[in-house]
A = this chain, B = another copy of it.
Amino acid sequence: MPSTILSRRDLAFLLYEWLDVERLAERERFADHGRETFDAALDTAERIATDLFAPHNKKNDQNEPHVVDGKVAIIPEVKAALDAWSEAGLLAAAQDYELGGMQLPCVVEKAVSAYGMAANVATSAYLLLTLGNANTLLKTATPLQVERFVRPMLAGDFFGTMCLSEPQAGSSLSDITTRAEPDPQDGPDGERQYRLRGNKMWISGGEHELAGNIVHLVLAKIPGPDGRPIPGVKGISLFIVPKYLLDADGKPGERNDVVLAGLNHKMGNRGTTNCLLNFGEGQHRPGGRAGAIGYLVGQQHQGLANMFHMMNEARIGVGMGATVLGVTGYLHALDYARTRLQGRHPAQKDPAQPQLPIIAHTDVRRMLLAQKAYAEGALALVLYSARLVDEQRTAPDEAARLKADRLLDILTPITKSWPAQWCLEANSLAIQVHGGYGYTREYNVEQFYRDNRLNAIHEGTHGIHGLDLLGRKVSIQNGALFAALGEEIGATVARARDVASADLRGHAAQLDAAWQRVVTVTQAMYGAGDMNRTLANASLYLEAVGHVVVAWLWLEQALACPPDGGSEPDFYRGKLQACRYFYQWELPKTGPQLDLLAQLDTTALDMQDPWF
Residues of A that sit less than 8 Å from B by CB:
165, 168-172, 174-175, 201-202, 231-233, 264-268, 334, 338, 341-347, 350-352, 355, 359-366, 368-369, 372, 428, 431-432, 435-436, 438-442, 446, 449-450, 453-454, 456-458, 461-463, 466-467, 471, 531-532, 535-539, 570-571, 573-574, 577, 580-581, 584-585, 588-589, 591-592, 595-596, 601, 603-612
- CB pair A265–B442 under 8 Å, yes or no, is yes
The smallest beta-carbon distance between A337 and chain B, in angstroms, is 9
Residues of B within 8 A of A171 (CB): 342-343, 435
The smallest beta-carbon distance between A562 and chain B, in angstroms, is 15
- CB pair B450–A432 under 8 Å, yes or no, is no
The smallest beta-carbon distance between A470 and chain B, in angstroms, is 11
A588 CA / B343 CA spacing, docked (Å):
35
- CB pair A436–B450 under 8 Å, yes or no, is no
Given A171-B435, A458-B436, A604-B369, do A589 and B589 touch, yes or no (CB 8 Å)? yes
- CB pair A366–B612 under 8 Å, yes or no, is no
Looking at A355, A571, A592, A607, the one whose CB has the most chain B CB atoms below 10 A away is A607
6 closest A-B pairs (Cβ-Cβ)? A232-B351, A574-B611, A588-B592, A366-B604, A267-B446, A231-B351
Given A231-B351, A441-B266, A577-B607, do A431 and B449 touch, yes or no (CB 8 Å)? no
- CB-CB nearest in chain B for A435: B170
- CB-CB nearest in chain B for A536: B362
- CB pair B432–A454 under 8 Å, yes or no, is no
- CB pair A435–B449 under 8 Å, yes or no, is no
The smallest beta-carbon distance between A393 and chain B, in angstroms, is 32
The smallest beta-carbon distance between A143 and chain B, in angstroms, is 34
Residues of B within 8 A of A265 (CB): 440-442
- CB pair B604–A264 under 8 Å, yes or no, is no
- CB pair A462–B577 under 8 Å, yes or no, is no
- CB pair A369–B442 under 8 Å, yes or no, is no
Given A428-B453, A456-B432, A596-B585, do A439 and B266 touch, yes or no (CB 8 Å)? yes
Residues of B within 8 A of A366 (CB): 537, 539, 603-604
- CB pair B612–A574 under 8 Å, yes or no, is yes
The smallest beta-carbon distance between A357 and chain B, in angstroms, is 8
A317 CA / B53 CA spacing, docked (Å):
42
- CB-CB nearest in chain B for A590: B592
18 sample A-B contacts, Cβ–Cβ < 8 Å, listed by A number? A168-B341, A172-B355, A231-B352, A233-B351, A267-B439, A360-B609, A362-B604, A366-B537, A366-B603, A368-B607, A369-B603, A369-B607, A435-B457, A435-B461, A438-B457, A574-B612, A588-B595, A589-B592
A168 CA / B339 CA spacing, docked (Å):
12
Residues of B within 8 A of A609 (CB): 338, 359-360
Residues of B within 8 A of A449 (CB): 267, 453
A610 CA / B2 CA spacing, docked (Å):
13
Given A471-B346, A605-B362, A611-B574, do A439 and B462 touch, yes or no (CB 8 Å)? no
A435 CA / B171 CA spacing, docked (Å):
9
Residues of B within 8 A of A440 (CB): 264-267
Residues of B within 8 A of A584 (CB): 596, 601, 603
- CB pair A202–B436 under 8 Å, yes or no, is yes
Residues of B within 8 A of A456 (CB): 432
A368 CA / B231 CA spacing, docked (Å):
30
Contact of A432 among B344, B428, B461 (CB under 8 A): B461
Residues of B within 8 A of A577 (CB): 603, 606-607, 611
Known: A362-B532, A585-B603. 5 other contacts (CB 8 A): A346-B471, A347-B532, A362-B536, A577-B607, A584-B603
Residues of B within 8 A of A535 (CB): 346, 362
A351 CA / B173 CA spacing, docked (Å):
11
- CB pair B446–A432 under 8 Å, yes or no, is no
Residues of B within 8 A of A611 (CB): 570-571, 573-574, 577
A16 CA / B460 CA spacing, docked (Å):
44
Residues of B within 8 A of A536 (CB): 362
A570 CA / B372 CA spacing, docked (Å):
46
Residues of B within 8 A of A585 (CB): 596, 601, 603
The smallest beta-carbon distance between A449 and chain B, in angstroms, is 7
Given A172-B343, A442-B265, do A334 and B612 touch, yes or no (CB 8 Å)? yes
A566 CA / B174 CA spacing, docked (Å):
44
A282 CA / B92 CA spacing, docked (Å):
61
- CB pair A442–B355 under 8 Å, yes or no, is no
A538 CA / B577 CA spacing, docked (Å):
20
The smallest beta-carbon distance between A10 and chain B, in angstroms, is 11
- CB-CB nearest in chain B for A531: B346
Residues of B within 8 A of A454 (CB): 439
Residues of B within 8 A of A570 (CB): 608, 610-611
- CB pair A538–B363 under 8 Å, yes or no, is yes
Residues of B within 8 A of A580 (CB): 603
Residues of B within 8 A of A342 (CB): 169-172, 175
Looking at A436, A589, A596, the one whose CB has the most chain B CB atoms below 10 A away is A436
Given A372-B612, A574-B612, A592-B588, do A174 and B457 touch, yes or no (CB 8 Å)? no
Given A439-B267, A453-B428, A603-B580, do A363 and B539 touch, yes or no (CB 8 Å)? yes
A365 CA / B532 CA spacing, docked (Å):
13
The smallest beta-carbon distance between A298 and chain B, in angstroms, is 21
Contact of A174 among B231, B232, B351, B571 (CB under 8 A): B351
